[in-house]
Structure 1
C-alpha cells in the first residue's frame, strides 16, 4: 500500500521509519506547508514533497494518509482525505473536540474508508501480556486501578512551536502525554460513569495544564485514579498502570511502563510469573507501536476488517480527557 504523511514534524519520522520497515508499505509522498521540513523524507525515502494536500490526493496513487499535524488541524484534514477515498491513520488525540471527532468518523463511514488512531502503548509487550491476563479473567473482579504519568517536559519543549501547550491545537499533559494511559485504562477497566478532576499550570508558561489529578468511577463499580504531570525535575520519573483485582495485583511500571513491577496472581505459579517477567525484560519495547499500527492498517485492508485501534477508541480516550477538563473547570463531578 502506498502511504503519504501530512505534517513533517517530529512524530512524522516515526511513521516514515515504520513504513520503511514494512514490506507491504511504501512512503511515496509527504506534505507540509514548510518546504524545508520535507527535505529529509525526499532524500531518505525518495518521497515526493507537496505543500498542498489536494496535490497529494490528486497527483499520487495513495492508499493511506498518516496525519501528523498539530491536533487542532486533524478534523479538517481527515475529512478532506476521507472524501478522497483514502484510508487514514491519525496521531493522538483524534481531534480536540467530540464534534470534530464525529465529523472524522462520519466522513470515514460515508466514504467507506478505514480509520486508525495512534495509541501505540497498546502494543508494548508487557501491555499485550496484561491484556491476555485480563482476557483470561485471572484478576477476577476489579476493585480499583491507578494510572500515573509523572514526566518532564521543560519550557524549551513547549517553546519549539507556537501551538504547543495551547488549548486549541495541543492541550496539556492529559491531552498530549497521558491520553495514551487513559486509553489503556479504558481498554482494561471499561466505561466510565463519573469523573472528578483538579488541574493546575504550575511551572510551564503554557495555556493548558501541566499537572492533573483525577478520579473515575466505572460502570462496573470499579474506581480509578489518574495522576499526570510534565513538571517533574529533572527528567521523566514514572509511567505506570496498576490494577487491583480480587485474585491478583498487577503493576506495569518504570520510566515508560515497560515492565511488570509487580505480578501476583492466584492462578499463576511462581515459575510462570518469573518466566513472564524475564521474557518482558529480554525485549521490553518489542516491535515499535507505530509499526504495529501501520502494519495493522495494511492487514485490515487485506482482511476487510476494522483496524485494531478504531476511531471510536480514539473518541473514547478524548471524551475522558475532555470530561476531566470540564470537571476541573466547574469543580464538580461530571457524569457520562
Structure 2
C-alpha cells in the first residue's frame, strides 16, 4: 500500500482526499494531512481518520508517508516540493508546478538528487475522449495539422477570489492563464506539438485581483499550424465550457463540456468502425468541473511507483507548459510576439507585490 499525505487542505484538496480517503484508488491510501490553518487540517483528519498536522516539518517527519501531494498555493509549490524530496518522499504537485522557470528547474533537480519521482497533476490527459483524440493523432488520421484551439469560459466571482488572500496575486497564483487554463494549455501543446512563438493580450475585466481574469493568445507551432488560446473566469452567470479542438486536412475533433470531457465533434475523411461508438459513448459531461481524470491519474502514479516506469507528466513535461504560459505573460508585458525557447525578463509570475489591485 502506497501511503499519500496531502500538504495543503484548500479547495482542490477535497478531490484528492475523497479519492484517497474513501478507498477509490487501488494500492494507495490517505495517511496524513497538513495545513497551516489548523481547522482545515483537523477537519480532513477527523473526516478520514488520519493524523493532521499544522507544521510542514512535523508532517514530513511522519514515517508512514511515501508520497506527498503538494496542494498549496502555486507560488509555494517549489519550497514545499523540494522539502518533500529532501525528506525522501515522492512528490505529486498540482498545476502549475511553479510560477518561475528557475523554480521548476530547482524542483526537478531536487527530486533527481533525492532519487524520488516528481509527478505534475495534469488529470485531463487521462480523460477518455482526450486519450481517443491523442490516439487519432498518433495514427495520423488528421494528416497535416491546421489549427488548434482551447477555450476556458468559466465563472469565478469575487467570492471565489476572496476565499484566500493569495488568489489572483502575481506572487502566489497568477491569473486565468496560470491557474484555470494551465490544463488546457498543456493539452493544446501535447496535441499540436512544440510552439515556435506566441502573442498574447489580457485584461482584468470583472475581478478585483492583480493578475488577469481574461486573456487571449495566438500561437505558431513548429509544424506550421496555428493555435488560439481563449481563457476567462469572467463568464457570467455560470461556467460555459472548457474545450479543445484540433483541425487537420483529413479530420476535425472538438472536445468540450466544462472539463474537456464531452465530445462535441468527431469527424474524419476516412471513418472507422470505432468512430460511431466513440461519438455516442463519450458525449456525456462529467458531474463536476474536475471531471473523471483524477482517479485515472492516481492509478497511473501508483503504477509508476510500483514498477519504476516513467510518468506521463513528469517535471520536464510540467515545465514545458509553464514555459509557454511564461512566454504569454512576457508577450502581454512587452506587447510583442515572443519566441520559444526564451528566458523571462518581464513576465510577472512570482513577483512580490503590495497586494491586490482593482479591475
Fold equivalence (TM over 0.5): yes
Tell me if structure 2 keeps the 8 A contact 1:83–1:107: yes
1:133: which partner in 2? 136
Q: 2:61 matched to 1:54?
A: no
Structural RMSD (CA)? 1.6
Tell me the residue number matched to 1:71.
Answer: 74
Shift of 1:267: 1.9
Equivalent residue number for residue 258 of structure 1: 261
Provide, for residues 72-110 of structure 1, a one-character-per-residue CA deviation record: whole Å limited to 9, x for no partner: 100011111111111000000000100110010000111
SS in 1 for 2:177: helix
Post-superposition CA distance 1:151-188 (Å, at most 9, x none):
11111111111000001101111001111000000111
The 2-side partners of 1:303 and 1:156 are apart by: 44
Cα drift, residue 282 of structure 1: 5.8
8 Å CA contact 1:79, 1:104 repeated in 2: yes
Deviates further, 154-163 or 255-264: 255-264
Give the alignment partner of residue 281 of structure 1, picking from 283, 287, 300: 283
Q: C-alpha distance in 1, partners of 2:324/2:296?
A: 24
Q: Does 1:317 align with 2:321?
A: yes
Alignment match of 1:154 (pick from 157, 160, 179): 157
CA–CA distance in structure 1, aligned partners of residues 104 and 291 of structure 2: 29
Cα shift at 1:264: 1.3
Q: Tell me the matched-pair count.
A: 335
Deviations 1:91-148 (A, max 9, x none): 0000010011001000011111001111111111211111111111111110111111
Cα drift, residue 230 of structure 1 = 0.8
Cα offset for 1:60?
2.4
Q: What SS does the corresponding residue of 1:172 show, helix, strand or coil?
A: coil
Asked if 1 retains the 8 angstrom alpha-carbon contact of 2:32 and 2:52, the reply is: yes
Write the mapping of 1:1-336 to structure 2, written as runs, cut at 5 A: 1-19=2-20, 20-269=23-272, 272-281=274-283, 288-336=292-340
Alpha-carbon distance in 2 for matches of 1:254, 1:45: 31
- Deviation track 1:197-223 (CA, whole Å, cap 9, x = no partner) reads 011111110000011011111111111
Alignment partners' CA distance in 1, 2:62 and 2:40: 20
CA offset digits 1:246-300 (Å, max 9, x no partner): 111111123333222111102214x643221111136857983222222211110
Q: Is the 8 A contact 1:117 1:310 kept in 2?
A: yes
Counterpart CA distance in 1 for 2:319 and 2:188 is 14
More helix per residue: 1
Q: Is contact 2:7-2:70 (8 Å) kept?
A: yes
Moved more, 183-192 or 306-315: 306-315
TM-score when normalising by structure 1: 0.96
Tell me by how many angstroms 1:191 deviates: 0.7
User: Would the aligned equivalents of 1:116 and 1:293 in 2 still touch at CA under 8 Å?
Assistant: no
| Separation in 1, partners of 2:316, 2:19 | 24
Distance 2:320 2:43 in 1: 35
Residues 1:122 and 1:275: Cα distance change in structure 2 (over 3 Å): same
> How far apart, CA to CA, are the structure 2 residues paired with 1:283 and 1:145?
21
Maintained 8 Å contact 1:9/1:68: yes
- Structure 1 alignment gaps of length 5 or more: none
Answer with 98-107 or 126-135: which moved more: 126-135
SS of the equivalent of 2:219 reads: strand
Instruction: Tell me, yes or no, if the aligned pair for 1:126 and 1:284 is still in contact at 8 Å.
Output: no
1:254 and 1:302 map into 2 onto residues whose CA distance is 34
C-alpha separation in 2, matches of 1:238 and 1:35: 35
